[in-house]
């Protein structure tokens, strides 16, 4: 015969995409069921001030006006405005509200993040069963549910681009294919087109760049910067002052979280303003330093790429002047993936952070008017309105978020310690592309 026992069947190894689909399927089903249940049992008009802003933007678009000129709601390149335009048309055709259309779009984006996180893990740690991690970290996560179903900002779309960027970088670092590097440039460029902040990950593109030709480097630079520059150039021609003020001159509002929030609580207003202005320059200096470090290295392991990306994005929240609860969406899937690569004190800090974040977000979205005050809208005692008013102030929000800020700082500190140690001494395991990750106990 063919040398095989009768009745035997040979099967080719599953590809990373097949493994990712298998790993993500159950998390997607559980997550969708919980989010549909949340939507069914909550009032149909409970949403954040951001969702109200999107309704205003769409109303202006319907009347042929420029929302960048007529409002200050849009502080990024126009990709989200274009998506809102399309969602408004779709909502009209299928007979749903803009809120429902936006929420449906964000649910689809979240589904992509689950799959892409599973794909990242399947490529890097092929022996890992990612299902429990995805279920606990994303599907059952109250933070993720509240952000997608109640807050309805578009930061989850930023997470999609960041995960695509990381998947492409992992392939490039392990295989050296120039097409993967160019793809990572494109995905990061689309992230910048969506909400500017992914630009902080640009130094990672310098890893192994010496292997590339100048033609490839220039093409990568165009893919990174071109989408946002081209989109903003059109807007600038139509409304130069609005773009200069609302986009190029945008600075998030200080005093509601973290360093600037504590300074305001201590009534050090002048120092809070000084820090808010200085932090931008500190970030620029930090990114220049990181670029120099990346330029000197030829590659990083997937575990290091994941943790480095997580730390850089977390730094925006911890050390930046402003804050929005939706910012965690940028790196929540990366945060979940990091559990698979790192153990010990990092996992302890990660669990503490997850618990503190969940409790903080539940309270915020239950009580804050700007977040939709779900609990009060669902009939809690009117006495809670007094608590809502007290905790919704600048000082109240800063104090309520103080445990979250401490948890952020602790996780960041542990992560910095781990990656400094790891980048100096690699403990590797074999994955699809060779030496690709840390041992679980590393």
User: What is the reported pLDDT for 12?
Assistant: 62
As a whole number of angstroms, the distance between CA 155 and CA 148 comes to: 9
What tens digit of pLDDT does each residue of 339-348 get? 999 999 999 9
As a whole number of angstroms, the distance between CA 250 and CA 51 comes to: 20
User: What is the reported pLDDT for 245?
Assistant: 87
As a whole number of angstroms, the distance between CA 106 and CA 194 comes to: 14
User: What is the reported pLDDT for 147?
Assistant: 98
Residue 131, pLDDT above cutoff 90 = yes
Which positions ≥6 away from 237 have C-beta within 8 Å?
A: none
Handedness of CA 272, 52, 368, 313 (dihedral sign): negative
User: What is the reported pLDDT for 1?
Assistant: 38
Lowest average pLDDT, out of 143-152, 229-238, 426-435, goes to: 426-435
Span 305-327, average pLDDT:
95
| % of the chain with per-residue pLDDT over 70 | 92
For all residues of the chain together, what is the average pLDDT?
90
Confidence class for position 429, pLDDT limits 50, 70, 90: very low
Residue 134, pLDDT above cutoff 60 = yes
The length of the chain in residues reads 442
User: What is the reported pLDDT for 382?
Assistant: 66
Torsion (CA) 297, 298, 304, 305 in degrees, nearest 10: 110
Confidence class for position 9, pLDDT limits 50, 70, 90: very low
Residue 7, pLDDT above cutoff 60 = no
- Side-chain-side CA neighbours of 321 within 13 Å: the count stands at 19
As a whole number of angstroms, the distance between CA 330 and CA 395 comes to: 26
Q: The pTM is what?
A: 0.92
Torsion (CA) 127, 129, 130, 132 in degrees, nearest 10: -160
User: What is the reported pLDDT for 252?
Assistant: 76
Which positions ≥6 away from 280 have C-beta within 8 Å?
A: 251, 321
As a whole number of angstroms, the distance between CA 65 and CA 326 comes to: 28
User: What is the reported pLDDT for 8?
Assistant: 45
As a whole number of angstroms, the distance between CA 80 and CA 77 comes to: 8
Which positions ≥6 away from 107 have C-beta within 8 Å?
A: 32, 35, 148
Q: Comparing 251 with 428, which gets the higher pLDDT?
A: 251
As a whole number of angstroms, the distance between CA 310 and CA 439 comes to: 19
Token pair 């392991």 is at which residue?
301
What tens digit of pLDDT does each residue of 78-96 get? 999 999 999 999 999 999 9
Token pair 């965690």 is at which residue?
328
Lowest average pLDDT, out of 196-210, 234-248, 272-286, 426-440, goes to: 426-440
As a whole number of angstroms, the distance between CA 414 and CA 86 comes to: 43
As a whole number of angstroms, the distance between CA 335 and CA 311 comes to: 9
Confidence class for position 184, pLDDT limits 50, 70, 90: very high
Residue 279, pLDDT above cutoff 80 = yes
Q: Comparing 80 with 427, which gets the higher pLDDT?
A: 80
| % of the chain with per-residue pLDDT over 90 | 75
Residue 432, pLDDT above cutoff 60 = no
Do residues 185 and 205 touch, judged by C-beta distance below 8 A? yes
Confidence class for position 143, pLDDT limits 50, 70, 90: very high
Lowest average pLDDT, out of 39-53, 263-277, 369-383, goes to: 369-383
Span 30-37, average pLDDT:
97
- Helix, strand or coil, per DSSP, at residue 431: strand
How large is the C-alpha radius of gyration of the chain?
23
């Amino acid at each position: 015969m063919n040398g095989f026992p009768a009745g035997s069947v040979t099967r080719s190894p599953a590809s990373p995409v097949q493994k990712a689909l298998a790993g993500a399927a159950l998390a997607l089903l559980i997550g969708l069921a919980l989010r549909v249940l949340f939507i069914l049992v909550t009032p149909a008009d409970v949403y954040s001030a951001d969702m109200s802003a999107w309704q205003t933007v769409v109303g202006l678009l319907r009347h042929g006006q420029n929302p960048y000129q007529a409002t200050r709601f849009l502080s990024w390149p126009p990709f989200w405005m274009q998506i809102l335009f399309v969602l408004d048309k779709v909502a009209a055709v299928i007979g749903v509200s803009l809120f429902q259309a936006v929420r449906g779009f964000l649910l689809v984006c979240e589904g992509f993040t689950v799959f892409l996180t599973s794909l990242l893990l399947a490529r890097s740690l092929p022996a890992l069963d990612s299902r429990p991690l995805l279920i606990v970290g994303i599907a059952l996560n109250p933070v993720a549910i509240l952000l997608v179903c109640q807050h309805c900002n578009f930061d989850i779309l930023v997470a999609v681009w960041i995960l695509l960027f990381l998947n492409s970088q992992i392939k490039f670092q392990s295989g050296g294919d120039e097409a993967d590097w160019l793809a990572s440039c494109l995905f990061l460029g689309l992230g910048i087109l969506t909400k500017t902040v992914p630009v902080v990950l640009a130094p990672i593109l310098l890893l192994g760049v010496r292997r590339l030709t100048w033609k490839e480097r220039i093409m990568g630079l165009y893919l990174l910067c071109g989408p946002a520059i081209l989109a903003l150039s059109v807007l600038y021609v139509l409304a130069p002052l609005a773009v200069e003020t609302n986009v190029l001159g945008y600075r998030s509002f200080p005093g509601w979280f973290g360093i600037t929030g504590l300074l305001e609580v201590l009534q050090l207003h002048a120092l809070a303003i000084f820090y808010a202005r200085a932090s931008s320059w500190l970030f620029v200096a930090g990114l220049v330093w990181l670029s120099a470090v990346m330029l000197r290295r030829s590659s990083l392991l997937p575990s290091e790429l994941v943790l480095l990306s997580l730390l850089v994005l977390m730094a925006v929240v911890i050390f930046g002047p402003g804050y929005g609860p939706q910012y965690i969406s940028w790196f929540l899937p990366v945060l979940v993936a990091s559990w698979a690569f790192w153990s010990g004190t990092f996992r302890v800090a990660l669990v503490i952070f997850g618990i503190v974040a969940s409790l903080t977000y539940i309270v915020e979205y239950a009580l804050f008017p700007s977040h939709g005050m779900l609990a009060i809208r669902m009939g809690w005692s009117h006495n809670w309105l007094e608590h809502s008013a007290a905790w919704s102030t600048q000082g109240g929000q800063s104090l309520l978020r103080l445990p979250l800020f401490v948890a952020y700082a602790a996780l960041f500190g542990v992560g910095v310690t781990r990656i400094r140690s790891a980048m100096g001494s690699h403990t590797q395991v074999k994955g699809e592309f060779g030496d690709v990750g840390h041992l679980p106990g590393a």
